């Protein structure tokens, strides 16, 4: 009898639908950019001076991925569960130490994402100099729409990004307000990692983050990219 390769069946590869393609986008790593809109950095009490600072990143496990349209339980361990509306850049080609001028070649496409956050746990960790994992990298915390292939969109330099909770606008900004733009992020991140097809990058949220409760419906929109929807269910 042939020996099995694994003790049990490995979990399925996390993936996202691709607009206009029956094949799905297999998600490799999830990178997230912190504090990439000035007004959000200020509302978090940590203003950014681009001249003297570098972008910073945290990661979410690929298993944290949830497709747009889902209902997720209000997560455990928090009393301050926040939305963060973000442009997601999907990487489709390998890149290491890429120049900003070449960064577009890495982009497979774009998506609309929610970096859901246990804000109370994140801020405790931040203020104690501890990792953000409990606040950021938890189950069903990386919500993402279908991926729109880049086509002739090129590098997105502007476009409305907004978010509503139960139809009320909570975030409204423009991609032109990104502190570090898409080529700058890809060039910088690729100094630290060998970027691979399947990596996705949440590029940061504008101002107006806030809490949601069970029963709330979140709807986010990015011009020319798409929409992301999430419903908050009861706690488990």
| Residue nearer to Mn ion on the CB measure, 34 or 198 | 34
Judge contact between 84 and 218, C-beta under 8 A. Answer: no
H/E run at residue 59: strand 56-60
Distance CA 106, CA 25 (A): 14
Q: How many C-beta atoms lie closer than 10 Å to residue 55's C-beta?
A: 18
Judge contact between 37 and 196, C-beta under 8 A. Answer: no
In the complex, minimum distance from the CB of residue 213 to Mn ion, in angstroms, rounded to a whole number: 20
| Residue nearer to Mn ion on the CB measure, 18 or 85 | 85
| Residue nearer to Mn ion on the CB measure, 35 or 229 | 35
| Residue nearer to Mn ion on the CB measure, 32 or 156 | 32
The closest residue (CB) to Mn ion is: 115
In the complex, minimum distance from the CB of residue 40 to Mn ion, in angstroms, rounded to a whole number: 8
In the complex, minimum distance from the CB of residue 12 to Mn ion, in angstroms, rounded to a whole number: 26
| Residue nearer to Mn ion on the CB measure, 115 or 137 | 115
In the complex, minimum distance from the CB of residue 33 to Mn ion, in angstroms, rounded to a whole number: 7
Distance CA 123, CA 27 (A): 28
Judge contact between 115 and 217, C-beta under 8 A. Answer: no
Binding site for Mn ion (CB under 5 A): 84, 115, 205
In the complex, minimum distance from the CB of residue 58 to Mn ion, in angstroms, rounded to a whole number: 8
DSSP of 156-223, one letter per residue?
A: ----EEEEEETTEEEEEEEGGGBSS-HHHHHHHHTTTS-B-TT-EEE----S--EE--TT-EEEEEET
| Residue nearer to Mn ion on the CB measure, 32 or 148 | 32
In the complex, minimum distance from the CB of residue 45 to Mn ion, in angstroms, rounded to a whole number: 15
């Amino acid at each position: 009898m042939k020996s099995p390769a694994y003790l049990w069946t490995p979990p399925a590869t996390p993936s996202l639908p691709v607009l206009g393609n029956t094949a799905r986008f297999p998600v490799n790593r999830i990178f997230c950019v912190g504090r990439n809109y000035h007004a959000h950095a200020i509302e978090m009490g940590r203003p950014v001076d681009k001249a003297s600072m570098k972008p910073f990143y945290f990661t979410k496990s690929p298993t944290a991925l949830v497709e747009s349209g889902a209902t997720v339980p209000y997560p455990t361990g928090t009393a301050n569960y926040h939305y963060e509306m973000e442009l997601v850049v999907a990487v489709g080609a390998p890149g290491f130490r890429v120049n900003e001028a070449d960064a577009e070649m890495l982009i497979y496409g774009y998506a609309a994402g929610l970096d859901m956050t246990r804000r109370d746990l994140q801020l405790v960790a931040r203020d104690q100099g501890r990792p953000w994992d409990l606040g950021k990298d938890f189950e069903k915390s990386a919500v993402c729409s279908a991926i729109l292939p880049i086509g002739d969109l090129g590098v997105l330099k502007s476009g409305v990004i907004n978010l509503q909770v139960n139809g009320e606008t909570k975030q409204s900004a423009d991609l032109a307000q990104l502190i570090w733009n898409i080529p700058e992020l890809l060039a910088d991140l690729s100094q630290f990692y060998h970027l691979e097809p399947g990596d996705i990058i949440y590029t940061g949220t504008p101002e107006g983050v806030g809490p949601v409760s069970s029963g709330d419906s979140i709807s986010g929109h990015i011009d020319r990219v798409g929409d992301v929807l999430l419903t908050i269910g009861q706690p488990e």
